[in-house]
Structure 1
Amino acid sequence: MTSGEGEIIDTRPVALPLAFGVAALGILVFSGMDAVMKGLVIALGVYTTMVWRSLAGILVSGVLYAGLRSPWPSRAAMRLHLIRGLVSTVMALGFFWGLARVPMAQAIALAFIAPILSLFLAALILKERVPRGSVVACACAAVGVALILTGQARAEMGAEAFAGTIAVLASAVCYAFNIVLMRAQAQVAEPVEVAFWQSVIVGACLLPAAPWFASVPAAGHWPAIGGAAVLATASLLLLGWAYRHGPASYLAPTEYTSFIWAAILGWLVFDETLSPWTVAGAVAIVAGSLIAARSKPVVV
């Protein structure tokens, strides 16, 4: 396969279980990054953390990008890089701000509405009718969110946790669009190219306000910032490779393994307990996502 400028994009088939395993590993790595970022955001604030992680990410992915002597992106690929970078900036700020205020497992469970929303967005972008199964899936997701919010209210987590929940839900809307973009990117750009340009564009979006709102972290935080950048780059590379070699409908269930990792890491690192309401809500949202995945959009 070739991109818009004629460069060869390697899409040779691989065994689907291998693509599934790589995607699952990418989710595990991404969950580890979430745990590191939560600690940094609590200590430094979301903006400072995002600025320095983005700069570190440019360095890490830039070394790989230059070392592989990757060609300049095609016009179509650069357009996708730019759009996804802008969306990712808003998505990450909302998610990590919320993650610092709610348990990891709860934040991840709420983010599970993204695959359902992405189906509606794909239908809108591709001019497809929304199948009946997607409507049922949306209802399941609404029930799941309501269960999580009920558990939050019963636990009296306070206004900060509620604000964090709203931020995570807003981020999930951006992530739904991000999923659609990721599918398109995987067909026109190599994973290392995607990782590098996403870091560059997110950094470019954040840097203008840095002189006023960012601070220089203490020396003790730099290993975590570097680690977060390495984990973020590694997860982008793994997921980019997997989505190039396997259909999205087959790989989508790997997203749900993040709930397991979030529950484990939240308990080990932040002493968070897993609420039965969060588990019930996650089950309802995942059920809705599986219903949506089985639905076949009809092209208008």
Structure 2
Amino acid sequence: MNRVAQHPVQAFIVALVAVGVLSVMDAVMKALVLALGIYAVSVWRALVGLVMASALYLPRRLPWPSRATLRIHVARGAVVTVMALLFFWGLARVPMAQAIALTFIAPLIALVLAAIVLGEKIGRRSVLGSLAAFAGVVVIVAGQARAELGPGVLLGTAAILASALCYAVNIVMMRHQAQAAKPLEISFFQSLTITVLMLAAIPFLGMPEWPGVQWGWIVVAAAMSFAGVLLFAFAYARAEAGYLSVTEYSAFLWAAALGWLVFDEGVSLYTIAGAALIVGGCLLAARREPGKAPEMEVAA
């Protein structure tokens, strides 16, 4: 296997760009869900995403993955489908800054899942970080209740937290998947699984609404999602995951700005304080004990 030369600063900049691209995609998806509904947007975006992934993967005529690898692809694709549906449904009901802040708890949930599933040890810092992050979630929810934003926002918050749980499961599954397949293969079979699941729902939910004038934005959302995956793959091949992970928190700044500019959403002090607690908890949990070797992880 050829090793990619390490360029940490370049990788950090590319990861920041990836976060920005995906943050703008979130804003586009929020507008689409408000206009068309989560079901229609998910079906059409899945189809467009599959076309894009197929155009890059199929011409290479790579060997078909083994049955065991296919099971991993399908399982993770199913988790990603549920994760996306919950997140974008919740995002349509919750201010963007609050929604993104709540998703930051996912890495800490992944630590707990890794301990249960993979037998990894949870250190004292991880426990303290988890408590701080949980306090951050409580602060954000308390701010929502104080503002009397209505049951829709609280339901949206519950959906986003459930999506964060799915994302944590996704993180654990990525460790196995990345050892068995390359990014383009992962992207293709993820898109294929999501599309099949979306189409399988048609007999029960009916034909999705035709996008009409929104078609262009659906293509933009699918393209930005795909671009974000490729940018992250480029970055994580050139620097350690621990070094790049902090770029994820720049999404809060993007969400606050886009929510204010596009959707006229304010950012409360409760949201800022809660986000600070969650980010601080994640950073505390991510710190390694002195002398402990870093663990490399491949981003899908």
Q: TM-score, normalised by structure 2?
A: 0.90
Q: Which moved more, 1:272-281 or 1:71-80?
A: 71-80
Q: What is the identity, as a one-letter code, of the residue corresponding to 2:107?
A: P
Query: How many residues in Structure 1 have an aligned counterpart in Structure 2?
Result: 290
> Counterparts of 1:221 and 1:294 in 2: how far apart (Å)?
44
1:73 aligned residue: 65
- Quick check: 1:288 aligned with 2:281? yes
8 A Cα contact 2:36 2:209, kept in partner: no
Query: Once the two structures are superposed, what CA deviation does each residue of 1:193-219 show, in whole Å capped at 9, x if it has no partner?
Result: 222211111111121112442423242
1:5 aligned residue: none
1:232 aligned residue: 225
Q: Among residues 137, 147, 153, which one is paired with 1:155 in the alignment?
A: 147
CA RMSD of aligned residues (A): 1.9
- Quick check: 1:261 aligned with 2:227? no
Q: Among residues 50, 59, 80, which one is paired with 2:51 in the alignment?
A: 59
> Counterparts of 1:165 and 1:41 in 2: how far apart (Å)?
16
Query: Once the two structures are superposed, what CA deviation does each residue of 1:178-202 show, in whole Å capped at 9, x if it has no partner?
Result: 1223344344433222222111111
- Quick check: 1:128 aligned with 2:109? no
2:208 aligned residue: 215
Q: What is the identity, as a one-letter code, of the residue corresponding to 1:254?
A: T
Query: Once the two structures are superposed, what CA deviation does each residue of 1:40-94 show, in whole Å capped at 9, x if it has no partner?
Result: 1111111111111000000111111134444433555433322210110110111
Q: How far apart are 1:230 and its partner, in Å?
A: 0.4
> Counterparts of 1:281 and 1:64 in 2: how far apart (Å)?
41
2:191 aligned residue: 199
Query: Once the two structures are superposed, what CA deviation does each residue of 1:248-273 show, in whole Å capped at 9, x if it has no partner?
Result: 22221111111111111111111111
**What 5-or-longer segments of structure 1 have no aligned partner?**
2-9
8 A Cα contact 1:61 1:196, kept in partner: yes
Q: Which moved more, 1:51-60 or 1:188-197?
A: 188-197
8 A Cα contact 2:39 2:208, kept in partner: no
8 A Cα contact 1:186 1:240, kept in partner: no
SS at match of 2:24: helix
Q: What is the identity, as a one-letter code, of the residue corresponding to 2:213?
A: G
8 A Cα contact 1:131 1:295, kept in partner: no
Cα distance change on mapping 1:122 and 1:22 into 2, 3 Å: farther
8 A Cα contact 1:147 1:281, kept in partner: yes
> Counterparts of 2:77 and 2:252 in 1: how far apart (Å)?
25
8 A Cα contact 1:41 1:100, kept in partner: yes
> Counterparts of 1:95 and 1:20 in 2: how far apart (Å)?
26
- Quick check: 1:99 aligned with 2:70? no
SS at match of 2:201: helix
**What 5-or-longer segments of structure 2 have no aligned partner?**
294-300
Q: Among residues 220, 231, 248, which one is paired with 2:241 in the alignment?
A: 248
SS at match of 1:127: coil
Q: What is the identity, as a one-letter code, of the residue corresponding to 2:126?
A: S
> Counterparts of 2:149 and 2:128 in 1: how far apart (Å)?
30
> Counterparts of 2:33 and 2:282 in 1: how far apart (Å)?
30
Cα distance change on mapping 1:81 and 1:200 into 2, 3 Å: same
Q: Which moved more, 1:104-113 or 1:60-69?
A: 60-69
Cα distance change on mapping 1:294 and 1:75 into 2, 3 Å: farther
